[in-house]
């Protein structure tokens, strides 16, 4: 089975997890198993279904090594410019994949809510995580989840007991700072909401400076019965960065997950979303917006598996591509024979502003039940000349008019962001990106 | 202010305007009438600068400038405005944001300072009131999900806000009930009071009950085949276009 391991993968795997991550036996066993899995799988080639449109060559050629030490040089003053004005949040700061308690603000957490660094919890209370770690990922770990497990040493743990609620969003800032040698940070976040619990998590991927690094994050989310989770992820990595993230969702009965993924930064970005329904009447709403310009790749993979009846899912992704930007949207919704009354709708819309831009879009429904409501649609188009003429006839310049239309196109997804302060900040980022785009 | 001479234009391979002449002076209101498909909207779009309508001959001067050499936005900056027969929907583009962008683009092209949010809002309120419009229109995306009447009103509102030197209204009166028709007429008459010029493309005498034109033209087969005073409109109402040899081609 095992293909020859690329040098890049060997380097990635070779560096040991951070020494202060105390390893319980079960964790050591998980790491070893994950290592074996990486070696077993080898590097997927272009025939592998999941990697048909995206090559790993450029990623592995960088020779990324797992970050093994905490970077303490970052000070509070360095963060000023990164904060979103008017956003009141419980703020967690991670630098190069390490939780920084001194830079985080977690005061006044209500009862029943635990937010802590993964390394700290592994040290003080490892059993709290024993069932949860890889609980959503499972044993059949995809390559980058397995790499994450093999190097696992830190991340964030968010546990809400039954009925617990957070009034303010949790804001998780992933800050990356380039180092001499290309490094990969591999945070693992474990999020579990008990029955009826409610929370809003904002994940922001940012960098200081224009540095080369890689993020390989894995987020595991388990929602109890009637739990409600809003999850907003804004990827604004540096223009030279590589970004991988895998989201693994387990949704309890009648729980609601509302997620918005915004992909703006990085040179090469791949996001995998896995959704598993564990109870009936659960709802999963996945929204996405991506921008890709020269030298950028944005790749989104969705795997939504309706095994149980009466669940609802929405997959709604929009992309704006310009220059020589490339995007991949590979969305799979499966509906098992017993998953009657599934309601699923997937759409992927793309706006291509330049001839050199490109998108591979592949929405797929595999339906084995007969009483379901499922649909999918995809569009790849240019700016409508009539809309453009209408705006120009009102005195608005061609370039400004194109930007307005792009922002309008993105508006449907941007409108799902809450609170207002976040929406405004992201809309502004999108606007700024479009300002730099060659739109003619 | 506007002088059109021997204008010929093609849409695709088809010649639609076939040597059209028209002179519009300051403060004048011209009505252009004519059967369906005669080229009225084509004329309006050519004047506004739509790029896929190809001008093959003739000249157009506006305020002393060669209009045909200008981009659509430059024409708007000079004071030209087209109220579309079919206003375009812009999903996701907020109407207020759009109006402000348009007004400020025109102001800065004319060397006037841009209006800040407060001043802009004040101006908008004032214009809304004059036209008896509801401000809920402003919070919605431009024309998106608007009824036919709302779209037309939004066109007139833009006209009132941008105060063009020459407004071309392309069948803004079609399909409107009498109340909306009055709003359109109020908008036009207000401009007229400012010594602005108006070209009213219309099918019906009805609008002309509220706006008295200085001139009436009949456009057929891509040319102006007859011009006259307001009595020409009445004549057309009575007799149709047949007596002018301007029936629609079968
Ligand atoms: N986009 C187009 N492509 C091809 N033909 C068109 C287009 N727009 C208009 N036409 C044709 O041009 C002619 C004039 O149309 P138009 O200017 O809309 O007439 P009117 O406004 O007087 O009803 C018609 O024969 C119409 O079919
Ligand atoms: Mg017409």
Task: Give the residue extent of every domain in chain A.
Answer: 3-279
Taking only the tens place, the pLDDT of each residue in A5-54 is: 788 999 999 877 766 656 789 999 999 999 999 999 899 988 898 999 99
Element at B216 (helix H, strand E):
strand B215-220
Cα A353 from Cα A332, distance rounded (Å): 26
Residue A331 · residue A364 · CB < 8 Å: yes
For chain B, domain boundaries: 2-90+165-249
Among the listed residues A145, A169, A165, A270, the one whose alpha carbon sits nearest the alpha carbon of residue A219: A145
A397 pLDDT above the threshold of 80: yes
Q: Residue for token digits 């390490």? A: A98
Spatial CB neighbours of B188, under 8 Å, sequence gap ≥ 6 = B29, B167, B169, B198, B200, B211
Sign of the Cα pseudo-torsion (A423, A426, A427, A428, in order): positive
Question: For A317-327, what is each residue's pLDDT tens digit?
Answer: 999 999 999 99
> Which pLDDT does position A148 carry in this prediction?
96
Pair type for strands B29-33 and B215-220: parallel
Question: Residue A254 pLDDT > 90, yes or no?
Answer: yes
pLDDT, residue B236, reads 86
Q: Which residues on chain B place their C-beta less than 8 Å from a C-beta of chain A?
A: 48-52, 71-73, 75-77, 81-82, 84, 87-93, 97-98, 101-102, 105-106, 109, 141, 158, 162
What is the pLDDT at residue A209? 86
State residue B143's pLDDT score: 96
**Domain made up of B2-90+165-249: CATH architecture:** 3-Layer(aba) Sandwich (3.40)
Nearest CB among B50, B51, B101 relative to A404 is that of B101
Ligand 1 atom 10, closest CA? B11
The DSSP result for A98-148, as a single string, is EE-GGG-B-TTPPTTEEEEEHHHHHHH-THHHHTTTTTTT-SS--HHHHHH
Contact B72 A393 (CB under 8 A): yes
**A374 has pLDDT over 90:** yes
The minimum-distance atom of ligand 1 relative to the CA of B34 is: 22
Per-residue pLDDT of chain B (250 residues; tens, 9 = 90+): 999 999 999 999 999 999 999 999 999 999 999 999 999 999 999 999 999 999 999 999 999 999 999 999 999 999 999 999 999 999 999 999 999 999 999 999 999 999 999 999 999 988 888 777 778 888 899 999 998 888 988 999 999 999 999 999 999 988 788 888 888 888 888 888 888 999 999 877 888 888 999 999 999 999 999 999 999 988 888 888 877 766 544 3
What tokens appear for A29 in the block?
């066993």
Q: Is the ipTM of this complex over 0.90?
A: yes
From the number of C-beta atoms within 10 Å of its C-beta (0-12, 13-18, 19+), residue B17 rates as buried
Q: What is the mean pLDDT of residues A361-387?
A: 97
Collapsing DSSP to helix, strand or coil, B248 comes out as coil
Q: Which residues, other chains included, contact B221 with Cβ-Cβ below 8 Å and sequence gap of 6+? A: B18, B38, B39, B246, B249
Residue A187: name the closest of A220, A225, A165, A162 by CA: A220
Nearest to B101 among A387, A400, A409 (CB): A400
pLDDT band at A289 (very low <50, low <70, confident <90, very high): very high
pTM: 0.91
pLDDT of residue B250: 31
φ/ψ (deg, to 5) at A304: -110, 115
Q: Residue A192: what pLDDT?
A: 98
- Looking at the DSSP bridge assignments, the partners of residue B29 are B198
Q: What is the pLDDT of residues A123-142, one digit of tens each?
A: 999 999 999 999 999 999 99
Give the range among A75-79, A111-115, A135-139, A259-263 with minimum mean pLDDT.
A75-79
DSSP per residue, B134-187? -THHHHSBTTTT--HHHHHHHHHHHHHHH--SEEEEESTTTT--HHHHHHHHHH
The alpha carbon torsion through B65, B67, B73, B79 (nearest 10 deg) reads 60
pLDDT at B64: 95
The minimum CA-CA distance between A424 and chain B, rounded to whole Å, is 14
Q: How far apart are CA A153 and CA A121, in angstroms?
A: 11
Ligand 1 pocket by C-beta < 6 Å: which residues?
Answer: B 11-12, 14, 16, 34, 36-42
Q: What does the pLDDT read at residue A24?
A: 86
């Amino acid at each position: 089975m095992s293909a020859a391991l690329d040098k890049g993968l060997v380097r990635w795997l070779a560096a040991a997890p951070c020494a202060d991550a105390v390893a319980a036996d079960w964790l050591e066993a998980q790491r070893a198993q994950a290592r074996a899995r990486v070696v077993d799988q080898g590097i997927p080639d272009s025939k592998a279904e999941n990697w048909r449109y995206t090559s790993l060559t450029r990623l592995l050629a960088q020779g990324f090594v797992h970050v093994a030490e905490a970077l303490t040089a970052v000070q509070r003053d360095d963060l000023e410019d990164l904060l979103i004005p008017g956003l009141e949040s419980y703020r967690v700061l991670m630098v190069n994949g390490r939780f920084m308690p001194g830079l985080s603000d977690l005061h006044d957490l209500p009862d029943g809510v635990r937010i802590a660094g993964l390394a700290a919890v592994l040290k003080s209370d490892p059993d709290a995580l024993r069932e949860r770690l890889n609980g959503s990922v499972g044993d059949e770990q995809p390559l980058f989840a397995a790499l994450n497990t093999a190097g696992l040493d830190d991340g964030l743990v968010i546990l809400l007991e039954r009925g617990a609620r957070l009034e303010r969003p949790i804001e998780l800032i992933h800050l990356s700072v380039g180092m001499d040698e290309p490094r990969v940070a591999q945070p693992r976040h474990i999020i579990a909401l008990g029955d009826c619990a409610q929370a809003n998590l904002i994940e922001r991927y940012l960098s200081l400076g224009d540095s080369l690094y890689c993020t390989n994050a894995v987020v595991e989310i388990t929602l109890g019965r009637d739990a409600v989770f809003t999850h907003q992820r804004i990827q604004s990595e540096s223009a030279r960065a590589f970004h991988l993230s895998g989201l693994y969702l387990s949704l309890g009965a009648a729980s609601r997950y509302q997620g918005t993924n915004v992909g703006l930064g990085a040179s090469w970005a791949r996001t995998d979303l896995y959704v598993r329904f564990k109870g009936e009447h659960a709802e999963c709403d996945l929204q996405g917006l991506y921008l890709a310009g020269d030298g950028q790749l944005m790749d989104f993979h969705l795997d939504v598996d309706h095994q149980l009846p009466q669940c609802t899912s929405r997959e709604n992704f929009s992309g704006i591509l310009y220059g020589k930007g490339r995007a991949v949207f590979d969305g799979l919704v499966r509906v098992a024979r017993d998953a009657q009354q599934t309601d699923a709708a997937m759409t992927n819309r793309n706006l291509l502003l330049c001839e050199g831009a490109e998108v591979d879009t592949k929405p797929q429904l595999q339906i084995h039940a007969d009483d379901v409501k499922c649909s999918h649609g995809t569009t790849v188009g240019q700016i409508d000349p009539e809309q453009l003429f209408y705006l120009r006839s009102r005195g608005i310049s061609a370039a400004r008019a194109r930007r307005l239309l792009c922002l309008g196109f993105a508006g449907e997804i941007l409108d799902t962001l809450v609170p207002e302060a976040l929406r405004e900040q992201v809309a502004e980022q999108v606007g700024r990106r479009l300002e730099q785009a060659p739109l003619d | 202010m506007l002088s059109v001479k021997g204008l010929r234009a093609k849409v695709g391979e088809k010649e639609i305007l076939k040597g059209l002449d028209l002179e519009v002076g300051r403060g004048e209101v011209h009505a252009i009438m004519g059967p369906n498909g005669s080229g009225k909207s084509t004329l309006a779009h050519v004047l506004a600068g739509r790029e896929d309508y190809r001008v093959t001959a003739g000249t157009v001067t506006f305020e002393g400038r060669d209009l045909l050499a200008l981009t659509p936005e430059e024409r708007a900056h000079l004071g030209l405005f087209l109220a579309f027969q079919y206003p375009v929907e812009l999903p996701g583009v907020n109407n207020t944001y759009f109006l402000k962008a348009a007004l400020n683009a025109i102001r800065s092209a004319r060397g006037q300072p841009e209006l800040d949010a407060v001043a802009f809002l004040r101006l908008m309120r004032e214009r809304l009131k004059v036209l008896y419009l509801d401000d809920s229109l402003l919070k919605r995306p431009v024309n998106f999900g608007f009824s036919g009447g709302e779209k037309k009103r939004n066109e007139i509102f833009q006209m009132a806000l941008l105060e063009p030197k020459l407004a071309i209204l392309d069948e803004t009166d079609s399909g409107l009930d009498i109340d909306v028709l009055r709003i359109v007429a109020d908008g036009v008459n207000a401009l007229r009071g400012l010594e602005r010029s108006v070209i009213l493309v219309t099918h019906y005498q009805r609008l002309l009950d509220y706006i008295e034109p200085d001139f009436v033209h009949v456009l057929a087969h891509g040319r102006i085949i007859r011009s006259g005073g307001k009595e020409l409109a009445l004549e057309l109402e009575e007799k149709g276009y047949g007596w002018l040899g301007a029936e629609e081609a079968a």
